[in-house]
Amino acid sequence: MRGPHNIVRLIRTGATFERTGAMNLVLDAFEAPKILRGIAHALGWPFKWLGYKGDPNMPPATRALSALGPAYIKFGQVLSTRPDVVGSELAQQLRVLQDQLPPFSREEALAEVERELGRPWQEIFSEFSEPIAAASIAQVHRARLISDGTEVAVKVLRPGIERAFNKDVDAFYFAARIADLFAPGARRLRPMEVIEHFDGVVQGELDLRLESASASEFAANTKDDAGFQLPNIRWNYSARRVMTLDWADGTALGDNDALDAAGHNRRELGERVLSLFLRHALRDGFFHADMHHGNLKVAPNGDIIAYDFGIMGHIDEYTRRVYAEILYGFIKRDYKRVAEVHFEAGYVPADRDVDEFARALRAVGEPIFGMDATQISMGRLLNYLFEVTERFGMETRTELILLQRTMVVVEGVARSLDPHINIWDVAHPVVEDYIKRSIGPKAMVQDLGKTALVLARFGPRLPGLVEKALMAQTHETASKHGIRPVWLIPGGIGVVAGGALASLAAWIF
C-alpha cells in the first residue's frame, strides 16, 4: 500500500544518501527543482545518523545503493541504462555498480529447488556446490545432473525476494507521487514513468521462466552464428524460482592474460563481439542487453559464450531500419541523409530546419572521423547526439536508449581486448548488409507482399470500417452545428442509398 508508512523507508533512504555524500550528486543529475531538493534534504539531513555507512571505497551513488540493499542496487542498474533521465555522468557511475551481495546458504537454495521442482534434490543432482556468485535477485550454484552426468549451472531466486522488492518498489512509487504533487517542475523528469519502467523490469526478472524463454528465443535466432554459442536451457529442471542450464566452460573475456595464454586472438574476439551485437540488434531485433565482461566467456575452441539473460532488448522492424540508416549515414558521412531520416521517422519536430540539423550532425561526426582509431568512441558520438537532438526538440526515444547503452558497453568490451579496434570498420559490413536486405528493392517487394496479406485478411471488413469511420466523423461535425445527418432522419438512409445507386448507374452507363 502506497501510504504514509513509506515515509519511514524514505527517511532511511534519504539519511543514507546524505551520509554517503550521494544526495547532491543524484539531485544534480536529475536537475531537481529547489522544492524537491528541500524535501529530499528534509528527509535525510536531520536523520543522517540513521543512514547506512556503506563501503567508503565505492563512489558515492553506488555506495549508497549497495548499502540500501537488493531493490536499490537493481534500481541503480536499471537507471544506468537511462542516461536521458539521470545524465551521462551518473549513468556511467551506476554502470560499475557491483552485484556483490552476501549469498544465502546452500541449504536454503536446496529447499527452494525442492519446492519448485517438486521432488528431493538428491533425485535430480549428484552434486550441488556452495554458491559461486550472488547477485541482487538470485545466486548461482554449480551442480551435476544424475540423468546424464552433465555439469550445469543452477540459478535460484533469493528467499522472500519478491516481498522485499515489492515493499521497496511501493516506497519508490510513494516518492514519485510526492515529487508529482509537491514539485510540479519535476514532472518533466517523469518520476512515475521511471518507477513503472523499473517495476516492469524487476517483475520480469522475478520469474525465471521468462528468462529461460528469452534464452531459448535468443538461441533459436543465433543458432547459425559462427563463433557464438549459448548454454542449453534444461526446461525439465527449471521453474518460476529455479533455472537450470548447461555449465559454460571457458576463459573470462575480461582476463586478457588468460586469453593470451590460451592462444586466442584478442583483436578478432573484439571485432566479433561488436559484429555479433549489431547483427542481433539489426537482423533479429532481439539482443543481449547486458553484454559486459562478466556475462561473456571464450570457449576452448574460440567461440564466444554469452549467459545471464535477465535483461534482453527488443526493437521493432521499423525502428531497426531507422537506426541502421542513421548508423550507415554516419559511416558514409552523409549527414543530410541522417538528418532526413530523423525527420521522416518523426524524431525531430517537422517545423525545424533539416539543413540546419544536418550541419549540427556534421559538427558531431567530422571531429570523430578525424581521430585516430584509438580515440573514436561510440559513447562520445552518442553523448554529442543527445546534446544536438535536445537542442532541436527531439523527444527521447525510449526504445533506443537500451540499444545505445548496450552498444557503448560492447564497445568498451571490444576496446579492452584491443585498444586499436576501429568500430566503424567493424560496423560497416554488418550495417551495409542489413541495408541491402531490408531497405533495397528486394525488401520493398517483401513489404508489398506483407501489405497484400494484411489487406487479404482484413479486406472483407474494410468497407464496413470505412463507412463506420465516415458516419462517426459526419455525426460529430453535424452535432457541432446542430444538424441531424440524413441517415438519422426517418427514411433518410433510403434517400442516401437511392441517390448513391443513381449516381453509380449514371457513371457506369
* CB within 8 Å of 26: residues ≥ 6 apart: 17, 61, 86, 90
pLDDT at residue 210 tops 80: yes
- Domain assignment present for 457: no
Which of 9-23, 203-217, 401-415, 495-509 comes out lowest in average pLDDT?
495-509
Three-state secondary-structure class, residue 3? coil
pLDDT at residue 438 tops 70: yes
- Domain assignment present for 265: yes
CA 69/CA 133 separation, integer angstroms: 16
134: domain CATH number is 3.30.200
Phi then psi for 225, rounded to 5 degrees?
-80, 115
Does one domain contain both 141 and 271?
no
What is the helix (H) or strand (E) element at residue 292, kind and residue range? none
Does one domain contain both 407 and 497?
no
- Residues belonging to the active site: 290
Does one domain contain both 19 and 151?
no
In the chain, what are the helix, strand and coil shares in percent, each to the nearest 5?
Answer: 65, 10, 25
Contact between 236 and 119 (Cβ < 8 Å): no
Which of 75-79, 453-457, 497-501 comes out lowest in average pLDDT?
497-501
CA 487/CA 55 separation, integer angstroms: 75
pLDDT at residue 229 tops 80: yes
CA 101/CA 131 separation, integer angstroms: 11
Which of 61-75, 81-95, 220-234 comes out lowest in average pLDDT?
81-95
- Residue 305 bridge partners (DSSP): 229, 297
Does one domain contain both 193 and 332?
no
- Domain assignment present for 428: yes
Mean pLDDT for the stretch of residues 273-297 = 90
Does one domain contain both 167 and 115?
no
pLDDT at residue 373 tops 60: no
Does one domain contain both 330 and 478?
no
Does one domain contain both 57 and 141?
no
- Give the rounded percent of residues in the chain with a pLDDT score beyond 90: 27
Write out the residue range of the structural domain in which residue 111 sits: 105-157+207-222+233-247
Q: How many domains does the chain have?
A: 4
DSSP state of 395: P
Does one domain contain both 318 and 368?
yes
- Domain assignment present for 497: yes
pLDDT of 117 = 96
Contact between 321 and 439 (Cβ < 8 Å): yes
pLDDT of 355 = 92
- Domain assignment present for 192: yes
- Domain assignment present for 24: yes
pLDDT in tens, 173-199: 887 887 777 655 555 556 777 778 778
Distances from the Cα of 308 to the Cα of 142, 254, 312, 396, angstroms: 15, 16, 10, 28
pLDDT-derived band at 239, boundaries 50, 70, 90? very high
pTM, to two decimals: 0.72
Does one domain contain both 173 and 140?
no
